[in-house]
Structure 1
């Protein structure tokens, strides 16, 4: 079989398969590793984040599939990087993409799903957090608005989000917010975060144990 625009031929041995909707396919963990070997980093991380977040497979299963690849297999190093970046706490493709961009920009590694409390109790969870800075990817789902929603519902949701942000800021935090159009443009993300004091490091420290 030759590769085409829809089918990509691989020479790697497949020892385990499963059947989904009548089709014979590789197990999810193996499929995610193959995706990580051949596709862009942010696509691979987003797919694996989703699978882990929804408990469709485990990080250990991904690692096991990776170790089955011989050192010289094309894309193995790319797959290793993707697995190192995967995090089950990521709750959307936009958050996964944002995190990969932060890595590529050599920004300090953020904490994820940061719990914020004040004297009235739980304020909420922020997508990303650094010292005195919180970051939020603003997707439509965050605001719980369906297409064609009543304007009064939209007003209530926006007011609730404003009050939430006010409480977060009152704890001494600065806020960085961005949307999909910013996340796909590294320079725009870098500028938004730099405005709040989050700037590139001289050396990437994501895997060095340095916060």
Structure 2
């Protein structure tokens, strides 16, 4: 394999894992492939990626995944919005608000609070435009909010909003030693871990051979 292709959805920062890969796997470069959150699963199934850092849920039929962390959500509002007067916001506070849920939403709302924005909003970027214009508020995972934040907007924590779980996923039938190495890296295994066939093994100490003893001089009687 000339490269190991790792899909990366918006908002996920893999820098520390890329650095460790470069230190441990010197013969196979790790190629980061940006992919939309909604397209990551399809790219894995099509063989376009060896693995992906994506957001759950995914269909586990033919794919394996390990959750890495769950990201808290925040509300994106204008800096003059009344939500900025509090340290955090509860979902019940959205009762009189218009909430925009874009077509590429990753939170999977079961029952969005407040009044739903009626028009079509294909992307998160489009939703942020509506927030900036004062037409709605938007709830996003914290990293996505930072990615899309612009002048005049701010964020507030929403502790009881759905979170977004980031996971490492790969095709079940494509699992190999490089996949195992990446799993070990994102799980924080050391280079000398027994898991993974590419793990470095400690060098064996050289065997000590007995040294010849100098001949003793015989004393004359």
TM-score by length of 1: 0.22
| Structure with larger RCO (C-alpha < 8 A, sep 6+) | 2
Higher helix residue share: 1
Higher strand residue share: 2
